[in-house]
Structure formats: C-alpha cells, structure tokens
Amino acid sequence: MHSILVQIQVVYALVLRETRTRFGQNRLGYLWALLEPVLLIATFALLYRILGRSVPDRLPIVPFLTTGFLPYLLFRETSARAMHAVEANRGLLFYPQVRPLDLILARTVLEIATNVLAFALILVTYMLYVGNVDVADPLQILLGLGLAAGLGSTLGLVLCAWGVFSSAVERIHGPLIRPLFWFSALMYPTGQLPLRYRNLLTYNPIVHCVELTRAGYFSGYRANHVGLAYPFVWILALGFLGLLLERIARRRLVLS
C-alpha cells in the first residue's frame, strides 16, 4: 500500500515536471501542443471540402476525422514519448524511488490529458459552429482513447527496454508506425469495406480503437466487427513482454 502511494506521488511529480520541460516556461507552449492535432484535422477537413469528397453514410466530416485521428495520434505520440522516457530522464533515476516505469507512466498520463483536452476543444468549437452536437456515448470515446494510449504505452515500454540492448530499436519505430496512418481507418469506416479487406484491417488493433471511438460518437455506427477484447489482448501481451524486458534491462541500465 505504502509503495503504491509513493509511486502515485512520484508519477504526479513527474507529470508536473514534464509539462515544464516539454512546454517551456510559458503557457503558449502547451497551447501549441493542443493546436497541433487540431490543425492537422482542420487541414484534412479542408481538403475534403475542396475536393468535394464526403464520407460514406453522410457522416459529418469534422467529427469523423476527429474520432479517427485522435486515437491514432494518441497511440503514435504515446509510443514515441514512452520509448524515449528513460533516455531523456536518465538523471532522475538517481532518486531511488523513481523507476523507469514511472517515467513511462508519467508521459502516458500527459499524452492522454493533452489528447482528451484536444478532443474537447474540437468538440466545443464544432458545437459553436453547427449549433448542436449529439454524442452517443462519451464513456465509450474515453474507452477508445484509453485503449489507444494503452497500446502506445506498452509498445513504448517494449521499445524502451529493448533500446537498452540495441540502439537500432529507435530507428525501427518510424517505419513501424508510419504505415499505420493508412491502415488505421482514419479516413474510411471499415464497416463499408469488402469483407476481405475489412478482415485484414481488423488485425490492426488501432482500427478497433478508432472504430470504438466512432461508435461512441455516432449513434448507430456500424462497429459490430470490432471490440475491446482484441486491443486489450494486445495490451496484455505487449505489457507482459515489456515488463519482462524491463526486468532484464534494469540491471544493465547504467546511470552515468
């Protein structure tokens, strides 16, 4: 019990510290982190408008892209930040109660907070624009985002621990993650796809996070072919592997 309290204390201190080191001394730094996904989504929405394209089922474009991009970005950013968590904060491991896992946890918490805030920001802006917004199940949106963060965090843990043994790991992250942009249902609903392609895509756990988030936003969205069990199994498997690697890497980690 005591050690859990200490860990919460440590993670809380790390989150506060991380906001400082990452976003700098002024509050505009944090605003910029929030605006980044907003701008990305706005760009794509504009592109759709200019090209005169629309989403199947006549779904409104801004929420459609938001529910796709944000889980994906949360996964991508969390995995990248978690992968570098130890390397960037090696000096903090001097304090015995600060563990590598705390560093990863703190970065995950900060990513989730930023992402959820960006989601709310977009939603509120959109609401002011169109007048009324109907969200089917806000909790399910949080579930979709939570699963995406869980996948990012556990993948980051695996890569972070593995990175202690080989510096090549860092270089595989980009090539591993970047193609997922096209295969994560960001710009198309998988329910509309031919069964063959849909089955292939559902091997990607991010697709489940995205479609769950969408089903949480649009009532009646077709998402029977996805579920939380599949990404959850991924999280368990990656988490298990990550913790195992961390146990081995822990003794190899040189502080100075």
Q: What is the contact surface with other proteins in residues (CB under 8 A)?
A: 6, 9-10, 12-13, 16-17, 20-21, 91-98, 250-256
| Cβ atoms < 10 Å from Cβ of 191 | 18
- From the CB of 99, what's the least distance to other proteins, in Å? 10
In the complex with other proteins, which residue's Cβ is closer, 10 or 201? 10
- From the CB of 207, what's the least distance to other proteins, in Å? 38
In the complex with other proteins, which residue's Cβ is closer, 14 or 62? 14
Under 8 Å between Cβ of 48 and 54: yes
- From the CB of 17, what's the least distance to other proteins, in Å? 5
Maximum pairwise Cα distance, the chain: 59
In the complex with other proteins, which residue's Cβ is closer, 86 or 123? 86
Name the DSSP letter for residue 58: G
In the complex with other proteins, which residue's Cβ is closer, 86 or 145? 86
- From the CB of 205, what's the least distance to other proteins, in Å? 33
* Type of residue numbered 11: V
Of 170, 212, 179, 176, whose CA–CA distance to 70 is shortest? 212
**Burial of 27 per CB tally in 10 Å (0-12, 13-18, 19+):** exposed
Residue 198 has which token pair?
């849909």
- From the CB of 158, what's the least distance to other proteins, in Å? 20
**Cα dist. 30→38, 149, 153 in Å?**
13, 19, 21
In the complex with other proteins, which residue's Cβ is closer, 97 or 199? 97
Question: Which string of b and e fits 116-132 if b means at least 16 CB within 10 Å?
Answer: bebbeebbeeeeeeeee
